Amino acid sequence: MKLPTLNDNPFMKPMEWVSLLLLAGLILVLLPLALDSFRLNLVGKYLTYAFVALGLVICWGYCGILSLGQGVFFGLGGYCMAMYLKLEASSVENTRIQSTPGIPDFMDWNQVTALPWFWKPFHSLPLTLIAVVAVPTLFAFVIGAAMFKRRVGGTYFAIITQAIAAILTILIVGQQGYTGGINGITDLRTLNGWDIRTDAAKTILYFVNGGLLIACILVAQAVKRSKLGRILVAMRDKEDRVRFSGYAVASFKIFAFCLAAAFAAVGGAMFTLQVGFMSPSFVGIVPSIEMVIYTAVGGRLSLFGAVYGTLLVNWAKTSFSESFPELWLFGLGALFIAVVLAFPNGLAGIWRQHVEPRLSRKPKSPALPAVLPHGAPAE
Amino acid sequence: MFGDYSLGDLGAIFAMQGFAGLILFSVYVLMALGLAIIFGQMGVINMAHGEFMILGAYVTYLCSGFFQSNLPALFPGYFFVAMVLAFLAAGALGMLVEWALIRHLYKRPLDTLLATWGLSLILQQAYRSIFGAREVGVELPSWLIGSVQVTDAIEIPINGMFVMAVTVLITVAVALLLFASRWGRQVRAVMQNRVMAGAVGIDTDRVDRATFGIGCGIAGIAGAAFTMIGSTGPTSGQLYIVDTFLIVVFGGAASLLGTIASAFSISQTQSTLEFFLSGSTAKVLTLLGVVAILMLRPQGLFTLKVRR
């Protein structure tokens, strides 16, 4: 069989363009028309998780690196944004009653009298916007460089990223005076003078969020179809062969991990803007693993699937935990098990196997590659 | 940080914190032993390990209640019955889980991680539905209450000593089982070369199931021991799972000695630091140290030399 070369491959197949248009139509037209502003804000919140899920598709689905610490990057991005908003909300006029005016209220409560050095850059909006992406990406780079250069991968990497998520949560909760502790950074008001609490602002932020998500999908698609994307897949399936062919395996892995971190960070920042606070409960182990399940449900090899998976799981979570809080954990647990055992390719896999062949009258398209083809190294 | 204490005080502090560390060490070792068997020998990540431990704790709680109301004469000895029952309950559940879930996923280690996480959520919610969300504690028999006064400043609680004794016993038993029994030989053979082990007539499926069951059973015993020193809630297991995984990885996955050594160093560091710094800072520093060392030496402290 002749494999198509890269030049034959269009940027996206017609079917994928249709999927993209459908998704964009759903997010940018249908949902805003159908939902009231409260529900729309809720969907906006879910969509911020979809950034993380997208990153995981590249990092986990295509490159085979399971990170259980994506909450760290989501949280770092969110905290960077929250620090800027908090500083703006605690101007000297707003905080007259404090013993030290001009610093965030939780610092005042914890007897911190001067703004710590790492808060200072967040007075400036451009620096904040850079930090939102740069801080988590750099952090991912350090972790990735340390681990992948030493050929740590697979389950070890998963455990260590999980430990990092635990450490960061404990650190944020413990250093109450500098981070706001368990309550997080709350009471955020304006972005460069623009009130983000009004319904109109929330609607605008929703559209910004949706646009950014589509942009991230396009970036991920560009990575996926490039030569780089093929090397990622090759590495996932037979790492040693790629290494022996002369590729610096570690650098490619670091790239995939950093890209996933950057996506997660954008999601985190948008989360802070739309929801109006950031807290350590979005950083730790439990949210990080939940973000993995969004990807798994949607299909770990499908960019669009990841978005739908995120929406579906969160929708189920909200409606179940509203009406049957007891059942929700059973349902979520069963979902984990079912996806892994029965549908390793998630919703996208079901779609490609059962729906797509009926849509196109063409002869059956070749089956989706297995998640781990035969003989994948069990590290 | 040492400035305000005299030398004698420091000695007593280190002794006391060292002992507190030893109790933490005991829980860690019991948890990590089961995990080391499952992860180290089988390469399976069992995120529900903490929930197996809590199952043991709840079995002990039920036992304590049963003996108190029905067999008060035998109450002082109930703990030994509870330990056996905890082992059996957790082991049986473990074998069931292996049969229903894990055996389909041996080639996909990352997926076992997700599936067992799902299992842990289900178990947690089951505990919450059955036993309630509040933490429960067991009634200690009178001979386990109190403490031994060593010097003026140092006293050692009896229940802590008992937990340590249990830990030593279980560790010796596991070591004997792995290195001196027929089953242990089979387990190690399967771990080193599954195909070859199958070829020489070892039923690898059965060995896997027994290994998983025993690993979970030991977690059950850990839970029983845990009730002696703390109360049990539906999510208590989750608090320990990350630490335990780090211990196993830090020690070198396939090495029993490494697991014990790393549990010892981590628990001692944490409990000594805890006295001088706040609890959360101590924990952060300990975990950071472990992660930093793992970045420099990813294979862990001790490695088994195996030709692959």
From A297, which residue of chain B is nearest by alpha-carbon distance?
B114
Instruction: Give me the mean pLDDT over the A175-182 stretch.
Output: 85
- Tell me whether residue A360 is exposed, middle or buried, using C-beta atoms within 10 angstroms of its C-beta: 0 to 12, 13 to 18, 19 or more: exposed
pLDDT at B122: 92
* Stretch B116-138: mean pLDDT: 87
The answer to whether residue B268 scores a pLDDT higher than 80 is: yes
Torsion of the alpha carbons at A302, A307, A308 and A309, rounded to the nearest 10:
80
Determine contact, residues A190/A89, Cβ cutoff 8 Å.
yes
Beta bridge partners of A369: none
Residue A367 in contact with partner chain B when CB distance is under 8 A = no
Banded pLDDT at A373 (limits 50, 70, 90): very low
Any chain B CB within 8 A of the CB of A151? yes
**Most confident of the following: A190-199, A299-308, B227-236:** A299-308
Q: Which of A164, A285, A372 sits opposite B291 (nearest CB)?
A: A164
Name the least confident of A53-62, A333-342, A357-366, B250-259.
A357-366
Q: Is the pLDDT of residue A78 over 80?
A: yes
The span from the CA of B205 to the CA of B196, in Å, is: 14
pLDDT category of residue B303 using cuts at 50, 70 and 90 = low
Residue A292 has its nearest CB partner, among B101, B114, B125, at: B114
- Please report, for chain A, the start and end positions of each structural domain, with discontinuous segments joined by +: 37-281
Whether residue A97 lies within 8 A of chain B, CB to CB, comes out as: no
Contact A119, A189 (CB under 8 A): no
User: How far apart are the C-alpha atoms of A23 and A54, rounded to whole Å?
Assistant: 14
Indicate the domain borders of chain B: 18-237
> In Å, how far from its chain's centre is CA A320?
23
Helical residues (DSSP H) of B101-181, grouped into ranges: 109-131, 158-180
A174–B contact, CB cutoff 8 A: yes
pLDDT band at A131 (very low <50, low <70, confident <90, very high): very high
Chain B partners of A166 at a C-beta cutoff of 8 Å? 242, 287
Interchain proximity A333–B129, CB inside 8 Å = no
Chain A residue closest in CA terms to B128 = A326
pLDDT for B26 beyond 70: yes
- Beta-carbon contacts of B187 under 8 Å, excluding residues fewer than 6 positions away, are B37, B41, B178, B207, B210, B211
pLDDT at A264: 95
What percentage of chain A reaches a pLDDT higher than 70? Answer: 92
Tens digits of residue pLDDT in A83-113? 999 988 888 887 878 887 878 888 888 888 8
- CB-based contact B220:B84 (threshold 8 Å): no
pLDDT at A3 (0 to 100): 57
- Dihedral sign computed on CA atoms, order A85, A88, A94, A96: positive
Cα–Cα distance for residue pair A291/B69, rounded to 1 Å: 47
The residue among A343, A313, A354, A368 whose CA lies nearest residue A53 is A313
A 336-355 residues with CB below 8 A of B? 336-337, 339-341, 344
Q: What is the mean pLDDT of residues B158-173?
A: 86
Question: What is residue B308's predicted lDDT score, i.e. its pLDDT?
Answer: 47
Residues in B closer than 8 angstroms to A153, CB to CB, are: none
A334's CB contacts (< 8 A; 6+ apart) are B118, B122
